[in-house]
Structure 1
């Protein structure tokens, strides 16, 4: 699967390596083009997943603020709920399309 911003591949991995949480596909950290992401100071803590790290996503034409996020250190109880360890996995908001 690919996460695309226009013609730019932001992340790419086999579907079996992704994790689906609440309708969002989370990509393994090694599959993300980190040179296109920059950490955001926007704070957020999910009641059941834990503290979130937002990222802005950029291609050659634009920067989309807070359109990617990850949970670097999710709550241990979140692993039970999801069924896997998703530490550091990255999800993307609607402007970044996820395609099979």
Structure 2
């Protein structure tokens, strides 16, 4: 079971993560949506496609763009389409 935590809160937990480039991608139904705020940030990966971001907010603390996902992944990355991954201090443990 993989678990993502930040600032004492469990952001996501699942035994169905997909690991790509050493990042655990969590299914969308495994995230605790109360902590996620849509961001206007987007980046492009040559083989995965355009990523969208969430900022994480826990107890009034904001971790800007700490989670990302590919709403429409390219063919080689379809297995992570809609899945959410983390960085910027979010701890992911198995």
Tell me the TM-score normalized by structure 2. 0.92
Write out per-residue CA displacement over residues 34-78 of structure 1, whole angstroms, 9 at most, x where no aligned residue. Answer: 111111111211110001011101100410001100001101133
Contact 2:63 2:88 in 1 (8 A): no
Structure 1 residues not aligned, in runs of 5+: 80-84
Secondary structure of the corresponding residue to residue 42 of structure 2: coil
How many residues are matched? 93
Structure (1/2) with the larger strand percentage: 2
- Shift of residue 8 of structure 1? 0.4
Structure 2 residues not aligned, in runs of 5+: none
Alignment counterpart, residue 89 of structure 2, candidates 73, 91, 95: 95
Contact 2:11 2:32 in 1 (8 A): yes
4+ residue segments displaced more than 3 Å = none
Tell me the TM-score normalized by structure 1. 0.87
Write out per-residue CA displacement over residues 12-53 of structure 1, whole angstroms, 9 at most, x where no aligned residue. Answer: 111xx1111111111010000111111111121111000101
